[in-house]
Amino acid sequence: MISMRGLPATRMRALSTLSWWLIRAQFKTRRAATLLSMLAIALGVALGYAIHLINDAALSDFGRAMKSVQGDPDAVIAARDSAGSVPLATINAIARDPAVLLVAAVIETRVRIDNAPTPVRLIGIDVFSAMAMTPDLLPRQDEQAAAPNILDGGVYASPALLARLAQSAQDSQSSQGKDFGTRAGGTLKLLRGEQQWLATLAGDLPVARPDDLLLVADIAWVQARFGPADGVSEGRVRLAPDTDLASWRQAWAQRLPPGLLIRAGDDDSARVSNLSRAYRVNLNVLALVALLTGAFLVFATQLTAVAQRSTQFALLGVLGLSPRMRLLQVLLEGVAIGVPGSLLGLALGYALAVTFTQVLGGDLGGGYFAGSAPLIVPALAPALLFLALGCLASLAGASYPAYLNRMQPLAQALKTGFAQRPPADARPAARSWRYAHSWVRRLPLLPLLLALAAFALAQLPPLFELPLAGYASIALVLVVGIASAPLLTQLLFGWLSAQPLPAPQRIALQNVAQAPLMAQVAASGLIVSFALTASMVIMVSSFRVAVDQWLDHVLPAPLYLRSKATPLPLDLLGALAAPAAPFAKVERMANAALTIDPQRPQVALLIREIEPRDPAARLPFTGPLLAPPAAMPAVWISEPMAEIYRLAPAQTLRLPLLGREVEVFIGGVWRDYGRQFGAVVISREDYQQLGGNFQPTDLALWPLPGQQAQATAWLAPWAEQYGLEVADSAAIRRLSLSIFDKSFAVTYALEAAAMLIGLFGLAVTLAASVWLRARELATLGALGFDRRMLSHAVMLEGALIASVGLLIGLACGIAIGAILTHVINPQAFHWRMALAIPWTAVFAGAVITLAAAVLASRYAARQATRLPVAQVLANAQ
């Protein structure tokens, strides 16, 4: 009968009936607090689950997309430089390896179809090897049309592309009346830079993925028209079944020329997951914070619930409810909040995931995976995991109240109500004061030590390339804040109570001093929520100031023009060079991508017309600018590149450029908030001297003085004709800042939620502590205090607790803001910036919170003083 296991079934059932009665009563009498705790748990679960679902879907979608176009090769041979190619000799050498079953060579390039705004991937395949390697790319000949087959120059479009072509043909019918290229037998004009070729549409790609814009042709046909002359883009290798893949790849990696790399399927998935890893972790930390605030709310709710029902639980104890059942009951109530909360969270998370992928795509607006809205497919195991996490948070919140409830001394709880600390039965009463005394004296030491630990953690380098120590340091700062609350309370109230004060104020001070647990809980909620909010505000503002300054530096020209992914047409470049063009200066730039590590996203190579002796005029350097030794080209690397690959100015670097490894000198490091995975700038002269073919994709334009309007008008027809983008620097700046603001919009929502939760925690605990003193207040009322005096006392109490919370919260917020700015951002995203504290915004927030806290305590005071004094005194037990 004593242990749970020994309980007979009928008794179990009876106990669960009792349990259910209590839970139901609890939910009925504390509806708002319970609901809010549930919602907070739901929010945490929803965020975490949505992030998981979206990422999972995006990754598997990306994987499927890769497979569809690339097949499932055992290895891929490719050039490290996106402008480079794999020599045919290499392909032939690999094909002769006895372990190799098949090598499928592919040439891929981007073309425009008749100046359509979006470029299309043109893939040249060898039909026979493609049959085995990439069945999704196999063309289907349209037998009805009199079109050449693939070996005779037919090209084949994916269904998405066909639909796009039909649409644009319809759109242009009225203006040009020209119908071509929308069905087999039609002619397509393919453009790439200065090259133009006509091709005949000969059929479609029946199994291409629905949103891929693809054009497939024979590899020799593509090579003859778009190059490269003696190479291919990639060789996809299938090995004999009994080959050891890893050692084969390793052996070949050593034999390949330096400009080439060998990739495996795992590299692709690692690269894709590396793309958004830091961003994801950041969002997950936010989800964790939401879950923790949920736990805090459950804690506040259950603590007050236990306090308010202390007499009831003591009575149940007298009637024979075992201590363990008293503990279990409070935990069960926690679960009763956690389970529906988590279930709601799962549903909410699913809805969030679906909405977000529809609206923002698979990268949560982070800009990592372009274009596709992946399908969300929930699996059971992760759903259960998140359900368990939500319940765990709720249980964690309920555990201390449950412990207090178990430890309540029955006889005393019946006589005088809730005991805020577990009884100190075990130790003699005479010594307990000395304990408390020495504890109080030792108190400043603990926060101090923790603060030192937090500071030390903030100095640590990233772990697994994530700022884990930084996150731990933030958690410690919050602990320091909470741990130093009693100290500040003592100082403040010690000083205040020494002042000559009127009675209501004196009562308020005494109450805070005598109900340390409740005051502590209320203050902790505010400390944490205000610290997190202030720190986010500080971080975002620092970032925004830095981005603003950075934009100033990187947008020197009044006008910009860019083509998307294909080189700019030569006739435009020629016209710009002519004296009639209304421009004082034009700077051209080309883009390429280099693979330095196959498991990491590619590094951008920016080939710019930049003055090699004065690159600082165009790039915002963060440190010294060094001149290269004679005969060595200089490059200037971005801050993320320096951090990811651990590079510094004055070092030399072997860049996989133009099919070989080129030794370059790092002349300096410049700030870049645009490309998270690194960028290298090289001057056009150096690039061309190395043998590179400079094909500009972007232009910076300085119109002649006073001719800004003419310049824009001059560019308009070109932009129209070639689908180019023209923007002035002010517009780019506005757009960049609005993208910045949008991507931080979600943090504002979370800040608001955090503040609400903190305030609600304050209101709940304050109301409970007032409720616990209802008899005392009523006695005071009977002694002649009027209602106004009493409610003033309670409001003062709320204001005092809130001030302590806000003061500590502000200090913690600044510390956390500094950690976010100086540790988390650089380690997770390689963004460095100076700390810029928006004092007005922070103080305004503090004042508003204080006002809200006073309002919340006014509500609590109203509740307490509304009851007629006589009734309270009569009901007192």
Partner 1 sequence: MLRVSDLAKQYGKANRPLFSALDFAVGSGEIVALVGESGVGKSTLLNCIAGLDTADRGSVAIGPQALDIVALDETARAALRARSIGFVFQAFHVLPTLTVAQNIGVPLLLCGVPAGEHAPRTQALLERVGLAGFAARWPASLSGGELQRVAIARALVHRPALLLADEPTGNLDPRTADEVLALLLERVREQQTSALVVTHSQHVAQSCDRILTLTPNGLLESGCARQ
Contact positions vs partner 1 (CB under 8 A)? 1-2, 8, 10-11, 13-15, 17-18, 21-22, 25-26, 28-29, 311-312, 315-325, 410-411, 414, 428-430, 877
Query: Backbone dihedral region of 832: left (phi > 0), alpha (psi from -120 to 50 degrees) or beta?
Result: beta
Q: Among all chains, which residue has been given the structure tokens 């069905």?
A: 183
In this structure, the number of other CB atoms found within 10 A of the CB of residue 595 comes to 22
Beta bridge partners of 215: 122, 157
> Least separation, in Å, of the C-beta of 864 and partner 1?
17
CA atoms within 13 A on the CB side of 132: 14
Q: How far is the CB of 873 from partner 1 (least distance, A)?
A: 13
- The nearest distance, CB 323 to partner 1, in angstroms, is 5
Closer by beta carbon to partner 1, 414 or else 820: 414
- At position 531, the amino acid (one-letter code) is A
Q: How far is CA 679 from the centre of its chain?
A: 22
And the tokens for 417?
């109500």
Euclidean distance between CA atoms 42 and 391, whole angstroms: 10
**Beta carbon nearer to partner 1, 2 or 380:** 2
Report the residue number, 11 or 178, with the smaller CB distance to partner 1.
11
Report in angstroms how near the CB of residue 306 gets to partner 1 at its nearest: 14
The nearer residue to partner 1, 586 or 772, going by C-beta atoms, is: 772
Instruction: Tell me how far, at minimum, the Cβ of 314 lies from partner 1, in Å.
Output: 8
For residue 334, the minimal CB distance to partner 1 (Å) is 18
Give which of 734, 698, 731, 685 is closest to 604, Cα–Cα: 698
Ramachandran category for residue 365: left, alpha or beta (phi over 0 → left; psi -120 to 50 → alpha) = left
Residues 6+ apart with CB under 8 A from 528: 293, 296, 478, 481, 482, 754, 758, 809
Min dist. Cβ of residue 324 to partner 1 (A): 6
> Which is nearer to partner 1, 15 or 354 (by Cβ)?
15
Shortest Å, Cβ 39 to partner 1: 23
DSSP string, 137-154: G--EE-SSS----GGGTE
CB of 421 to partner 1, least distance (A): 16
Distances (CA, A) of 777 to 413, 510, 794: 19, 13, 10
Nearest Cα neighbor of 802 from 766, 827, 775 is 766
**Residues 6 or more apart in contact with residue 268 via CB below 8 angstroms:** 63, 66
The rounded distance, in Å, linking the Cα atoms of 459 and 454 is 9
Coil vs helix vs strand at 499 = coil
Helices vs strands, H then E, count in the chain: 28, 21
Closest CB to partner 1 among residues 25, 577? 25
- Assign residue 427 a region (left: φ > 0; alpha: ψ between -120 and 50; beta: otherwise): beta
- Beta bridge partners, 109, equal 122
Q: Which residues pair with 103 in a beta bridge?
A: 237
Least distance in angstroms from the C-beta of 763 to partner 1: 22
Separation of alpha carbons 501 and 163, rounded Å: 81
Amino acid at 272: V
Say if CB 48 and CB 193 are below 8 A apart: no
β-strands 652-657, 634-638: how paired? unpaired
Do residues 265 and 72 lie in contact, with contact meaning Cβ atoms separated by under 8 Å?
Answer: yes
As a whole number of angstroms, the longest Cα–Cα distance in the chain is 106
Closest contact distance (angstroms) between CB of 297 and partner 1 is: 22
What spatial distance separates the first Cα and last Cα of the chain, rounded to whole Å? 32
- For residue 26, give both structure tokens: 């609890």
Which residue from 522, 460, 482 is spatially nearest to 765, judged by alpha carbons?
Answer: 522
Q: Which residue has the tokens 């007979």?
A: 8
Nearest approach, Cβ of residue 428 and partner 1 (Å): 6
Between CA 327 and CA 321 the distance in angstroms is 10
Q: Which is nearer to partner 1, 253 or 410 (CB)?
A: 410
Q: Whole-number minimum distance, CB 17 to partner 1, in Å?
A: 6
Q: Identify the CA nearest to 257 among candidates 91, 82, 111.
A: 91
Identify whether the C-beta of residue 239 lies closer than 8 Å to the C-beta of residue 248. yes
Residue among 315 and 385 whose Cβ is closer to partner 1: 315
CB 733 within 8 A of CB 741: no
To partner 1, the closest distance from the beta carbon of 755 in angstroms equals 32
Nearer to partner 1, 128 or 435 (CB): 435
Of 370 and 430, CB closest to partner 1: 430
Nearer to partner 1, 33 or 522 (CB): 33
Nearest to 62 by CA among 310, 296, 270: 270
- Specify the DSSP element, H or E, that contains 108: strand 100-113
Taking the complex as a whole, the smallest distance from the CB of residue 413 to partner 1 amounts, in Å, to 10
Which helix (H) or strand (E) is 587 found in, with range?
Answer: strand 583-594
CB of 316 or CB of 557, closer to partner 1: 316
Min CB(860)–partner 1 separation in Å: 20
Report in angstroms how near the CB of residue 319 gets to partner 1 at its nearest.
6
Nearest to 75 by CA among 251, 195, 323: 251
Cβ closest to partner 1, residue 22 vs residue 76: 22
